[in-house]
A and B are shown apart, each in its own frame.
Chain A
């Protein structure tokens, strides 16, 4: 803008989030109001009271205590809440590291809302669903190529469900070989997602967790000490949540194989390596992708997501049933898989997200995937270059080495200098219309901050994000109260957590709040 009527913009955005001060929906209750009407049963059906034969105990005596609102008031309430939320479409969402917050193309949402997907029943005759079965089959083959593995299941509902699926297949594989009792240990790393450890424990395995050395990944010696005849599998991410690629990964896999174990690759962090290196080349037996991360489906406030498990022929008999097959003429649901672990979820997977992921791959192709990966890595190293110059920030491990698609930074120096903690910096970021995430627990990196810029953000976006962090760092050193009491321009002010761990006062629902806090008879 030339000088004149409108002054130039300041260096940083003067953001103010919507603050509607919206009450709980129960407080909007207006007795007798209706939000939507329901068809009444046709009186010509003459069925009398269809529930008459039920005992009284099975007939609802008290109507549910739902609020009564007219339609506009329901809409307005939720629109206001939506305005008090940030998504990829609105903010420079590079702060949710490990989660690959890339742009989810709008056109792909239109396919999902179309009745050709939305109005399909999963038990329709196969002849009436050839289109969607072909799409799933094609996506299975694409994931097989991208991973280098032989067969694929798209059934798991998200990344953790895919980890569970892989663990269940590992268990079935050893059960079939009569080694289930002997192989009762699973090895993982502390920078792999917590669900690797947690799914293994839920499935009955003892968990051994490896920690990084100065390079940012565990030493081969540490793995050698953990591996043995009790090893069922290694579950490992590469690059791990630090963005550091473990160059000895093939040796890790080989060591586990020598001990008779399997190796499963958590590819949550695959966005920087699409078309560059694959699970197959490193020797893995199983892997999984998060389609809501690497393959662009929206994160939806925490799901629905989608997971893809890919395995070698040796593990293929154990895949969840059904997988989609093709006999040369017809696509079909292959449910006749006697060694399958069975079902992970109803039907065939989160089909809307399979449709989106397929459309995303089709709009990029091999070269586009490679461009996306390389740009994600370029963006990350560019952002690291900017952020690492900010006072109080450091980049732990493997000093001077490049990172792939993300970086786990540390504000340890800033916290030591100012007493301001990483979480508080994240809260302050909300005042600039963005946010960041620290890390999973435990905080192996002190005062962590994990940034993953993906391929979706422009150079100007990255500069703006770094400028926000630089400004908050300046504030922490010069006016720390501004950071400590943040947020100031977000939807709400600092929350008080004291009651969240107090069974007498926690309030998971409105009725519990009324009963426990307000002392009402509910």
Chain B
């Protein structure tokens, strides 16, 4: 092997030639090639990797990244009405301060001694989230809301010993694609169409689909269309009547004003933490939660780690450890429940800090603001000529559907808005698009969208 010889790099302290030589001498090696003796010649690459030339200095790297990422136009430079699973909320400065601490950002998997802080912060996240969800069990976060829903449904299947899952409300097609992949091969997934007039669950269809083979009935609250379906409690009764579990995906930012699903019959509650103190990051800042009652048989079905509070040898000290570790694949490999690995712990800490800052009053105010702003947007935009809010009769939270009935379809309207510095909603089909507002939108923002639509929605 011919190496061009190391250049000293700031990230590689022992790249200093004298140090490298001294270390080789200390172990009695001629060169690093001695250590690679087990890699056969036929498997050697034998040439340098064909990668872009490196940027020598931090200053040059910063310049390159600024130039590359500067080609983006962010939501700070436009007026955005995009939601659909990734939401613009204010991120309190204290949340950013905590999650960017070296001690949290660069730690991993130490013991509950030298990493006591992360155990307590994550146990407190579980506990704070549990208050929001009115649930006695909350997991250390999984990757995202899609994975949380997929795992909750598998948990329901193991709990009931059944293999059929029914989706009742309008659900993100990407989430359905995840469920289809994750529930393969031995679960059957029935996705029911919603009532086209109301956008709500079709209760007749739900009744017809549920059987004594049904493990879980799944609903989103609010649904993909932003609708808070008044039948959510009734769906619980329908599920329980056939012995199925009721699994509800919810937006945690709504739970200051909307009931936690456990209070209207959900056995498992799941969702995504992104609205709780995490930026949008081009869809890269998600984390998934699952919550339930503290029933031994249900706890046994969680794949995730569950941190528990325990005493230490010193009275009054808080100690932490893994509850029922033997259910995990860390403990028993393929005999464990699904699998567990590195997922999204720091986002759990972010959500915990966010909930601690918000308190009950902050969560109520957030929910009230988003509900009011959404209601205003649905009403105001639905008044624009050639624009309808087809499900205006329902209560919405953040997301809502607009229908363009003039000569321009949903995608064309979006293009016209973009030309005017506005990011319109996600097109759902030729005429409909999913728009979104939160507490970050003012009345003036919505009025500006309405006036702009007035101009273009011919």
Contacts and interface: CB of A to CB of B under 8 A. Distances in A.
A200 B45 CA distance: 30
Contacts of A367: 4, 7, 48, 54
Nearest to B343: A303
A177 interface: no
Given A36-B94, A36-B362, A495-B311, A85 B103 contact: yes
B339 interface: yes
A355 B90 CA distance: 23
A161 B341 contact: yes
Interface residues of A, number: 227
Interface stretch (A408-416, A456-464, A469-477): A456-464
Given A35-B358, A50-B374, 6 more contacts: A41-B376, A85-B103, A104-B106, A301-B118, A304-B285, A402-B36
A250 B106 contact: no
A300 B94 CA distance: 17
A50 B323 CA distance: 42
Contacts of A304: 284-285, 287, 343-344, 346-347
Given A47-B379, A111-B65, A348 B283 contact: yes
A369 B66 CA distance: 23
B161 interface: no
A361 B310 CA distance: 43
A220 interface: no
Given A55-B233, A302-B108, A492-B317, A45 B373 contact: yes
Nearest to B129: A509
A124 B96 CA distance: 24
B107 A301 contact: yes
Nearest to A52: B395
A433 B114 CA distance: 8
Given A78-B353, A344-B181, A459-B22, A353 B284 contact: yes
B26 interface: yes
Contacts of B82: 121, 123-124
Given A299-B106, A347-B282, A342 B181 contact: yes
B146 interface: yes
Interface stretch (A134-142, A221-229, A256-264, A308-316): A134-142
Among B131, B147, B257, chain A packs the most CB atoms within 10 A around the CB of B131
Given A426-B111, A492-B312, A510 B282 contact: no
Interface stretch (B136-144, B193-201, B449-457): B136-144
A369 B50 CA distance: 11
Interface in A214-255: 244-247, 249-250
Contacts of A277: 39, 43-45
Contact of A506 (B92, B94, B140, B308): B308
Among A124, A485, A495, A501, chain B packs the most CB atoms within 10 A around the CB of A495
* Ranked 9 nearest A-B pairs via Cβ: A347-B283, A365-B54, A160-B341, A122-B283, A351-B284, A87-B106, A495-B319, A131-B71, A85-B117
Contacts of A36: 92, 94, 357-358, 362
Contact of B69 (A33, A109, A117, A122): A117
Contacts of A420: none
Contact of A64 (B54, B360, B371): B360
Interface string A36-62: 111111101111001101110111111
A354 interface: yes
Interface in A401-442: 401-404, 426-427, 429-430, 433-435, 437, 440-441
Interface stretch (B9-17, B206-214, B402-410): B9-17
Contacts of B280: 118-122
Interface string B34-45: 111111101111
Given A50-B372, A87-B105, A371-B6, A71 B94 contact: yes
A250 B44 CA distance: 12
Contacts of A515: 136
B106 to A, nearest CB: 3
A35 B359 contact: yes
A388 to B, nearest CB: 11
Interface string A1-31: 0000000000000000100011111100000
A131 B69 contact: yes
Contacts of B188: none
19 contacts: A57-B232, A58-B233, A59-B257, A60-B260, A69-B359, A118-B74, A122-B280, A122-B284, A130-B71, A145-B51, A164-B339, A342-B180, A349-B284, A485-B313, A495-B311, A496-B312, A506-B324, A508-B323, A509-B130
